[in-house]
A and B are shown apart, each in its own frame.
Chain A
Amino acid sequence: MNRDAVMSFLSSLVVLAAGLLIGFIILLVSNASSAWEAFRTILTFGFSGIRNVGDVLLGATPIIMTGLSVAFAFKTGLFNIGATGQFAFGGLTAILIGHNFTGMPDGLRIVFALAAATAAGALWGAIPGLLKAFRNVHEVISCIMTNYIGMFLVTFLIDRYAFNPAVGKSLALPEGSNLPTLGFEHIFREEFLPGFYRVSRVNAGILIAIIAAVIIYIILEKTTFGYELKACGFNKDAAKYAGINQNRNIVASMMISGALAGLGGALLYTSGTEAMGASNVLLPYGFTGISVAFLGLNHPIGIIFSGSLVSYLFLGGARTQVMGFSIEVVEIVISVIIYFCAFVFLVKTFLGKHIGKLLRFKGDNA
């Protein structure tokens, strides 16, 4: 392991610890008597049983995808804040296909739904990409706009074609339209009465997310395409000098970024756990993806872990509601922790300066 990797890992730990500390203080202020218990729950609940581990992975799936989406664009020097819109658009596509293409065999239908959702996300990402490449519109602005357009489109289309008035959300998909669970239900379960199990709904989605991360890693590190993309991201003048077509790369990067988010949306809404809201609210997954990407230091493999970690915290946080903490307080605590993660690069630089110096001076004396 090289020095840089050690520094990356250390700095992630430091920001996490700082975030946890502040989070704990908020818990104390909110309800001092059960703060410690709530804090312990946040820290340990995700590992307190095999079923919870399954749920952590289930929750990690969509945010690993949006994390990859943000990180991929970032490598090309673009800030894809539009992952939320792309995610929603992909999810919507998967839901509509799941409901309407029931003539298709189950296995084929899910593959088709995922593929179409990926394409839909790519399309949604292409818009800010094209605007940036050919009209020099800043991608953050156009991404925010596509987020809102995506949100309203979701409300409109769910309302019209797949609405379940009983819950105010999308209709549950027919069972055959969901992702296969691959027998995970026999692993990630807990017996609470003899013969009765609480089962995690973790499914093939997490494997797809991990495969996506590996593919992204390979694209970035092993291919000429990744070489071009990163050259544009690191130094666009040098990329231009080398005759690299930047505009094409900007569009391609935003499309791939969008595709990842779109697929993430499909993985969430075909997991059989979540219905799509039709109430004009921006989905949090794209924004969580930004924190996941940063916490994973924009490294595809790092993002598998940072996504799982964030999911772990969310799961434990949600559990603290049984101790009387309101969901809002819990979300503040989790947000604070994630917020601190945004300082990870700062901390890394700081550590690099100070701890790095210590290491070197040891070397000097030796």
Chain B
Amino acid sequence: MYIIEMRNITKRFPGIIANDDVTLQLKKGEIHALLGENGAGKSTLMSVLFGLYRQEAGAIYKNGEPVQIQGPNDANRLGIGMVHQHFKLVHNFTVLENIVLGVETTKSGVLQIKEAREKVLALSKKYSFDIDIDKEVRHISVGMQQRVEILKMLYRENEILIFDEPTAVLTPQEIEALMRTMRNMAEEGKSILFITHKLDEIKLVADRCSVLRKGKMIGTINVAETTKEEMSEMMVGRKVLLSLDKEAANPKETILSVRNLTKKGKSGEKGSLKDISFDVKAGEILCVAGIEGNGQTELVYALTGLKNIDGGRVTMEGVDITKAKIRKRTETGISHIPEDRHRHGLVLEYSLAQNTILQTYYKPTHQSLGFLKAREIIAYANRLIERFDIRAGEGAETPARAMSGGNQQKVILAREIDRDPKLLIAVQPTRGLDVGAIEYIHRQLLAQRDSGKAVLLVSLELEEVMNVSDRILVMYEGEIVADVNPKDTTFQELGLYMSGAKRSEVAV
């Protein structure tokens, strides 16, 4: 008997089959991980369970009884709750108000908040959430916001809890706490579905794991009896090297030099940069780590010229580029893989080929007398497609919008690397990509380093930070609070730096 059974679910979208005859069985009281690459159909399957999509074939059973789930309200009635990847909270409501929103108790139209308050406080205490329920949600950290989402489910007495990539936004310490909470809830008898593509977390917390690949269910395994390598092979369909084997860095001359960079944030601390100084040398990968929103974005904007700074100096090989225009910086040899590939990295309406020339369209290789050389551009794009193994339905003419995230990222990577830069700034280059693509991009970054380029990698993923970098800077509230060698540090120590609990003297 399963508390939830999704039998032979098929869900199509125009052009793809997101779930192809998928069967998923959830036992009462277990933590069941749902593993798969991006686009494997994990989120679709959970959206079917939560009533956001209707399946074309197949049925859902709760405790053996067939159920119809037409929408989130039906799901809620059946005791199914979900923490979405992007939280669904009202920012100027308090924690308490957010929790009761939608299920308020009223007496002749007047809100009865007192009982709700007691119930929420009790729940919060039970799971030692340590949360101030009268604070407005916009004033609490992302980790706390996630607890609000969890409290919402608990308040509604949901029995089946779905977590959609819950750890993406958390620090290592917060992840640990979340894992504990999940265990506690499972012991209470709640059943948990946990979407992720991080194998470590599955090993740590899950009882069983179902693996999806390209919309098909590959299999369900007992986590204790399966290695990470086996799971990743199931997920990707081939063997994957989980850790990079790389040689020690051989740093040479300084390429980028940053001195006393400062910028005032728009609203106080957030978005400010405080007296930031560091160098990036040829032949090394310097990584800037930190929790999202601690000044990394602003730092990159300052280096690439997307935003102005208030003070300080930036030089490339001794040439002052502090006030240089973006085009000028590009010409001095800075390549930039931007954080948001849809906002900055690509013109989605343009074709793959048109996107490959975004930084070089004005060069004689791509134009003469102001006319684009259509044939050469297509040939150039085809060369990049070949060299970087970019997959696109209509080849060089594919609209960028129609490509998968991983291949979009490869287009940007190809464009930026092919320019033969001296400095490659890569901001979260693997965000949202699957294991295969991540591996590929990491190898490319390493290859750039080994060919004598300076690489500045900004990443939120600690695993990536530890794996790829030769030196780590940690940013906290616009400052560099640590400058460490990955060999001499641990995840835990980095986590402490990232959360501001620890800092070291940083010398340039």
Q: Which residues of A contact B (CB under 8 A)?
A: 222-225, 227-228, 230-231, 234-235, 237-245, 356-357, 360, 364
Contact B350 A241 (CB under 8 A): no
- Give bound CA distance, A364 to B12, whole Å: 11
Query: Among A227, A237, A240, A241, which residue has its beta carbon within 8 angstroms of that of B354?
Result: A227
Among the interface residues A234, A243, A244, A360, which one has the most CB atoms of the partner chain B within 10 A?
Answer: A243
In the bound complex, how far is the Cα of B367 from the Cα of A223, in angstroms? 8
For B329, the chain A residues whose CB sits under 8 A away are 243
Which residue of chain B has its CB nearest to the CB of A244? B327
CB atoms of B14 and A360 under 8 A apart: yes
B344 close to A237 (CB less than 8 A): yes
Which of B12, B347, B372, B374 has the most chain A CB within a 10 Å cutoff? B347
B349 to chain A, nearest CB (A): 4
B244-275 interface code vs A (CB 8 A; 1 in, 0 out)? 00000000000000000000000000000000
* CB atoms of B359 and A242 under 8 A apart: yes
Known interface pairs A230-B347, A243-B329, A360-B15; 16 further A-B residue pairs with C-beta atoms within 8 A, sorted by A's residue number: A222-B374, A224-B367, A224-B370, A227-B354, A231-B358, A234-B348, A234-B350, A237-B344, A238-B343, A238-B358, A240-B306, A243-B325, A245-B327, A357-B14, A360-B14, A364-B12
Which of A222, A243, A356, A360 contacts B372, CB < 8 Å? A222
Find out whether the CB atom of B362 lies under 8 angstroms from the CB atom of A241: no
Contact A241 B326 (CB under 8 A): yes
- Chain B residues with CB under 8 Å of A222's CB are 371-372, 374
B-to-A contact residues, CB < 8 Å: 12, 14-15, 304, 306, 325-330, 336, 338, 343-350, 354, 358-359, 361-362, 366-367, 370-372, 374
Does the CB pair A243–B326 fall under 8 Å? yes
- Complex contact B349–A241 (CB within 8 A): no
Measured between C-beta atoms, what is the minimum distance from B353 to chain A in Å?
11
Q: Smallest distance from the beta carbon of A348 to chain B beta carbons, Å?
A: 15
What are the residues of chain A within 8 A of B343 when measuring CB–CB?
235, 237-238
Inside 8 A of B348's CB, which chain A residues have their CB?
234-235
A141 and B304 CA atoms in complex are apart in Å by 33
The distance in angstroms between the C-alpha atoms of A230 and B350, with both chains bound, is 9
CB pair A223–B330 under 8 Å, yes or no, is: no
CB-nearest residue of chain B relative to A232? Answer: B347
B372 touches A238 (CB 8 A): no
**CB distance B14 to A356 under 8 Å?**
yes
Chain A residues lying within 8 Å of B338, measured Cβ to Cβ, are: 241
Bound Cα distance A9, B304 (Å): 43
Q: Do B370 and A238 touch across chains, with their CB atoms under 8 A apart?
A: no
A240 / chain B contacts, CB cutoff of 8 Å:
306, 326, 344
Contact for A235 among B327, B349, B367, CB less than 8 A? B349
User: Given A235-B349, A243-B330, A360-B15 in contact, is the A223-B358 Cβ separation under 8 Å?
Assistant: no
Q: For B350, list chain A residues within 8 Å (CB).
A: 230-231, 234
* CB proximity of A345 to chain B, nearest CB, Å: 14
* B residues near A227, Cβ cutoff 8 Å: 354, 361, 372
A224 touches B362 (CB 8 A): yes
Q: B76 to nearest A CB, angstroms? A: 29
19 contacts between A and B (CB under 8 A): A222-B372, A224-B361, A224-B367, A224-B372, A227-B354, A227-B361, A227-B372, A230-B347, A231-B347, A231-B358, A234-B347, A234-B348, A235-B348, A241-B336, A241-B344, A243-B330, A245-B327, A356-B14, A360-B14
| CB proximity of A23 to chain B, nearest CB, Å | 34
Interchain CB contact under 8 A, A243 and B344: no
Query: Which 10 pairs show the lowest CB-CB distances between chains A and B?
Result: A243-B327, A243-B326, A241-B344, A234-B349, A242-B358, A224-B367, A235-B347, A237-B343, A234-B347, A238-B347
> Which residues from chain A contact B327 at a C-beta distance below 8 Å?
243-245
Cα–Cα, bound, A231→B350 (Å): 8
Q: How far is the CB of B371 from chain A (nearest CB, A)?
A: 6
Q: Which chain B residue has the least Cβ–Cβ distance from A242? A: B358
Complex CA gap A244/B358 in Å reads: 9
Q: Which of A223, A237, A240 has the most B CB atoms < 10 Å from its CB?
A: A237
* A225 in contact with B370 (CB, 8 Å): yes
A360 to B325, CA, bound (A): 47
Contact between A243 and B306, CB atoms less than 8 A apart: no
- Residues of A near B345 (CB, < 8 A) are 238, 241
Asked whether, in the complex, the Cβ of A223 is within 8 Å of the Cβ of B370, the reply is yes
Taken together as a complex, chains A and B put the C-alpha atoms of A270 and B370 apart, in Å, by: 33
Provide the bound-state CA to CA distance between A231 and B14, in Å.
28
Report chain B residues within 8 Å CB of A230: 347, 349-350
User: What are the residues of chain A within 8 A of B354 when measuring CB–CB?
Assistant: 227
B386 nearest CB across to chain A (Å): 24
**How many angstroms between the C-alpha atoms of A245 and B325 in the bound complex?**
9
Smallest Cβ distance from A214 to chain B, in angstroms? 15
A225, A241, A356, most chain B CB atoms within 10 A: A241
Alpha-carbon distance A232/B358, docked complex (angstroms): 12
Q: Return chain A residues, CB-CB under 8 Å to B371.
A: 222-224
